[in-house]
Amino acid sequence: MTILAVNAGSSSLKFSLHPLADGQVQPHVLSGNFQGLEPGGSPQMGWQQQSGGKHQGALDVPEGASSFAAALDALRTLLRELPDVPPFAAVAHRVVHGGGEFTASVRVDDDVLARLARYESLAPLHQPHNLEGIRRFRAAFPELPQIACFDTAFHATMPEVNYAFALPPEVTAQGVRRYGFHGLSYQYIMGELLARSARGAGRVLMAHLGNGASLCAAQAGQSVATTMGFSALDGLMMGTRAGALDPGVLLYLLEQGWTHDRLEALLYKQSGLLGVSGVSADMRRLRAAAALGSQDADRAIRLFTQRVVRQSGALAACLQGLDVLAFSGGIGENDAQLRQDVCEQLHWLGLHIDLERNRDPGRQACAIHTPDSRIEVWVVPTDEGRVAAREAAALLRDAPAAGG
């Protein structure tokens, strides 16, 4: 059997195909991404087999059809035409927000979908599109169980002192609290560290740095604190999100006549690396622009780095020390300069990295610290799809009935 793991966004559909062998979920044998699915976009499709087959090109969208529907048709055709693909057991969906209600993966039915829709306003960039993806896959693959796997679930172990806000009970009783996100990524990173390092069960700081960015402090393999909060806006500076922001700024802008929609666009789409630099949300483009003399791009990079350093110190304090630091995500895995700059500013913790190993850590989990470093430093390429597939396999094995 195989499990199809998918991540449906506003303009993209990522997928990976994971075989089951002896009850264990294996690395993907096929992965790909449909992009440009937004209205007026330029739909593209790309996929690659582990065995080497690769395709990249435009997605054909029939007249009158939606780009997402065309992507589903293309995906069905691709899966049907691939040789030696075993039958499917389930479709595993990444869902950003499960609130306090969904603290474990769940098989989706109409009731579950209705309950998950309550969290759309808490993650407007992700949740509506995650749920619409589930609806479309239910229609396209009605014979397959659809499993929702939550980015918030990994953080359900946080103690109250680390998730509660200093607000009156009539507010917190409505579910206003810190939830945390990137949980599927952190679950994978934690599993890799536990398997590869004797210190993995100790005090671990994980940095998922990409267009969305956060830190997670873990102990004994469980989340105890994280930088993201009630929504995916809090904490670190991100690609287009500002991160931690004085609420007084929002009150000021409201006094200036800003509307809810204008504030939402500012906070989710116009801030962060893009907003500061005026160039791009992509760290690679910012590095290139800074090298050519762009002071705004350089300022954005320095601010991003400083936020990572500052929040790392705060979470190290929550853990009362540090045994392991792990980098992941698109920036964390690929930007050697960022890793070097962060680690140099955390040297007071007794942290030292091997500069040569840091420049090229490879595609597998790799330790980049020097022998005399008091703290282990790892680069761990994440695999959220594999975690979602594992969650689906476990749920089908142990709790096949729908519910939450």
State yes or no: 331 annotated in a binding site. yes
Q: Annotated catalytic residue: which of 73, 151, 298, 323?
A: 151
State yes or no: 282 annotated in a binding site. yes
Q: d(Cα 41, Cα 60) in Å, to the nearest integer? A: 12
State yes or no: 210 annotated in a binding site. yes
Q: Label the pairing between strands 376-379 and 366-367.
A: antiparallel
State yes or no: 33 annotated in a binding site. no
State yes or no: 333 annotated in a binding site. yes
What are the structure tokens assigned to 284, written together? 């690679």
State yes or no: 120 annotated in a binding site. no
Whether residue 351 contacts residue 368, with contact meaning beta carbons closer than 8 Å, is answered with: no
Q: 151 an active-site residue?
A: yes
For 86, which DSSP code?
P
State yes or no: 284 annotated in a binding site. yes
State yes or no: 7 annotated in a binding site. yes
Strand order in the sheet with 213-219: 222-226, 213-219, 203-209, 324-328, 376-379, 366-367
Question: Residue 249: how many CA atoms within 13 Å on its side-chain side?
Answer: 8
Q: d(Cα 230, Cα 333) in Å, to the nearest integer? A: 26
State yes or no: 183 annotated in a binding site. no
What are the structure tokens assigned to 95, written together? 């869902």
State yes or no: 63 annotated in a binding site. no
State yes or no: 330 annotated in a binding site. yes
State yes or no: 323 annotated in a binding site. no
Residues paired with residue 218 on neighbouring β-strands, in sequence order: 204, 223
Whether residue 398 contacts residue 25, with contact meaning beta carbons closer than 8 Å, is answered with: no
DSSP strands (E only) in 96-202 = 106-107, 146-150
Residues of each annotated binding site for Mg(2+): 7, 384
Which residues sit in the known binding site for substrate?
A: 94
Known binding-site residues for ATP equal 14, 208-212, 282-284, 330-334
Catalytic residue set:
151
